[in-house]
Amino acid sequence: MRRIDYRFLQSRPILRLFLIMFVNGLVSMMCAAIFIQLEGPSQKERMAATEALAKLVEECRRNISSLLTSGDDEEGSADAMASYGSKLLELTNTEEEIEWEMLSASAFVTSVSSTTGK
């Protein structure tokens, strides 16, 4: 069996650099695809819950404005205001996420690999 001689890469540093970049890019894209498959579904659930909470806050706001303009039920207005305040606080404490796609996942992999030095 014939052995492959890799000494030609020692005399061609630019070729070696591009080969390393190419392999690093392939590994980065594979890891990014794995992150997307693993984290994507649960992230979509979290984003849907945040969107539902935002719709609930908007609905509470509309209810408060209609209760205040009618002026009929002061106690109901106070309860609606308390509910609106708690839902708004919950929404503002929710962290904003960037959806996992190939670009954001590969940027994450690149940042981790560049900071660890490996």
Residue scoring higher pLDDT (118 or 74): 74
Determine, yes or no, domain membership for 15: yes
- Is the full-model pTM beyond 0.85? no
Q: Specify the number of domains making up the chain.
A: 1
Instruction: Give the model's pLDDT for residue 116.
Output: 64
Give residue 53's pLDDT band: very low, low, confident or very high (50, 70, 90).
Answer: very high
Confidence (pLDDT) at 55 = 94
> How confident is the model at residue 80, as a pLDDT?
81
Output the CA torsion sign for 41, 47, 50, 56.
negative
Mean pLDDT of the chain: 83
pLDDT digit string, tens, across residues 5-38: 677 777 788 888 888 889 888 888 898 899 889 9
Output the pLDDT for position 110.
79
In a domain, 78, yes or no: yes
Q: What pLDDT is recorded for position 83? A: 86
Full domain range(s) for residue 12:
8-116
Burial 67-99 (b: 16+ CB within 10 A, else e): beeeeeeeeebeebeeebeebbeeeeeeeeeee
The answer to whether residue 101 is domain-embedded is yes
Lowest mean pLDDT among 41-45, 54-58, 91-95, 100-104: 100-104
Tokens encoding 80 = 């609606």
Establish if 65 belongs to a structural domain: yes
**96 within domain boundaries:** yes
**1: in domain:** no
Tell me, yes or no, whether 95 lies in a domain.
yes
